[in-house]
């Protein structure tokens, strides 16, 4: 990993958004995720390598949270820094494709506010020619149902980051399949595994955005 990319990773872990940000105090007046990402891209670092370093940083801050070394405010600052990086990376994932493959209705399930992974899935799918209808976070079943009604033949994606919201994922799938048995449903998110596909009655699992793209593309062939 280059020094610049490593610095970005540290900014994510420490929640250093940009130079003007006073947080964290020991990094005051130093460049943050914003400036460093721009520099890294200008110097030819790939979007994929920056993203990988940021994902590693989110893992590290998550582990610290598990060990009670940091708390929710620190997670929020890390998320804010990560979103700043993603704003810079977005064009790299979205360049040059025609939106023609189909519609993908995507949301983080009810009770769950985590959206960084979902937003990545959205970006990468859009970059691969899918029209994404992003319903946001804390998406109740009815909202998924309305979106399916408004977008016949769409594929649906559900994301969950909490073990406590996985039952909500299962409940949404059950209702969607009851009302629209032919709707294809893909699930993902850190605590979700391939074995949940059968248990929840979904059609597929994707561990990352590219797997979601591969699966969706296979449905257009
Ligand atoms: Co929270 N959080 N959080 N959190 N958070 C986790 C998930 C946790 C693992 C941290 C920990 O304890 N180590 C833990 C969950 C434990 C569990 O259930 N097993 C946890 C907890 C407990 C909580 C709260 C309950 C804390 C509290 O309040 N006491 C609370 C819940 C709030 C709620 O949702 N109701 C909470 C809150 C938050 C913040 C709001 C502060 C913030 C989220 C901000 C935001 O998203 N805008 C936050 C964060 C940042 C995290 C960690 C640190 C990072 C998550 C992240 O963005 N990762 C996380 C720890 C961790 O993940 N190690 C943690 C980076 C992202 C790129 O990865 O989202 O996994 P991920 O997405 C991946 C794949 O999973 C996949 O693609 C992405 C790219 O590879 N993917 C899909 C995701 N969705 C997909 C859908 C698909 C396909 C693939 O198809 C449809």
Give 213's pLDDT tier (boundaries 50, 70, 90).
very high
Instruction: Indicate whether residue 125 lines ligand 1 (CB < 6 A).
Output: no
Cα–Cα dist 146/149, whole Å: 5
Pocket test residue of 161, 166, 215 for ligand 1, highest count of atoms within 8 A of CB: 161
Residue closest by Cα to atom 69 of ligand 1:
117
57: pLDDT strictly greater than 90: yes
Q: Of ligand 1's atoms, which has the minimum distance to the CA of residue 115?
A: 46
Residue 100, pLDDT > 70, answer no
6-15, pLDDT tens digit by residue?
A: 999 999 999 9
3-class DSSP state for residue 21?
Answer: coil
* pTM of the predicted model as reported, rounded to 2 decimal places: 0.92
* Closest ligand 1 atom to 160 CA: 84
pLDDT band (50, 70, 90) for residue 138: very high
Kindly tell me if the per-residue pLDDT of 174 is higher than 90.
yes
The rounded Å distance from CA 114 to ligand 1 centre is 5
* pLDDT, averaged across the chain: 94
SS3 101: coil
The first and second tokens of residue 50, run together, are: 């920056």
Contact between 215 and 101 (Cβ < 8 Å): no
For atom 52 of ligand 1, which residue has the closest CA? 62
| Ligand 1 in reach of 214 Cβ (< 6 A) | no
- Statement: residue 96 has pLDDT above 90: no
Q: Is 58 in the pocket of ligand 1 (CB under 6 A)?
A: yes
C-alpha 219/C-alpha 93 separation (Å) is 21
Give me the mean pLDDT over the 18-30 stretch.
97
Q: Summarize pLDDT for 77-87 with one digit per residue, the tens.
A: 998 999 999 99
Q: What integer pLDDT is reported at residue 221 of this predicted model?
A: 61
CA pair distance 29, 197, nearest whole angstrom: 48
Cα of 112 to ligand 1 centre, how many Å?
A: 9
> Atom 22, ligand 1: which residue's CA is nearest?
162
């Amino acid at each position: 990993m280059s020094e610049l990319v490593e610095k970005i990773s540290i900014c994510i872990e420490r929640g250093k958004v940009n130079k003007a940000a006073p947080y964290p105090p020991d990094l005051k007046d130093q460049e943050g995720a914003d400036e460093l990402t721009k520099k890294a891209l200008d110097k030819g670092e790939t979007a994929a390598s920056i993203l990988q370093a940021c994902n590693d940083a989110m893992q590290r801050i998550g582990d610290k949270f598990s060990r009670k070394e940091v708390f929710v405010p620190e997670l929020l600052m890390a998320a804010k820094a990560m979103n700043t990086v993603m704003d810079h990376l977005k064009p790299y994932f979205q360049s040059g494709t025609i939106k023609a493959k189909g519609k993908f209705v995507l949301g983080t399930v009810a009770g769950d506010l985590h959206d960084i992974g979902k937003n990545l899935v959205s970006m990468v799918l859009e970059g691969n020619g899918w029209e994404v209808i992003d319903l946001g976070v804390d998406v109740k079943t009815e909202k998924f149902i309305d979106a399916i009604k408004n977008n016949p033949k769409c594929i649906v994606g559900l994301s969950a980051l909490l073990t406590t919201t996985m039952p909500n994922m299962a409940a949404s799938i059950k209702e969607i399949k009851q009302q629209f048995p032919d709707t294809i449903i893909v699930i993902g998110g850190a605590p979700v595994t391939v074995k949940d596909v059968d248990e929840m009655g979904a059609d597929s699992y994707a561990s990352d955005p590219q797997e979601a793209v591969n699966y969706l593309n296979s449905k257009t062939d």
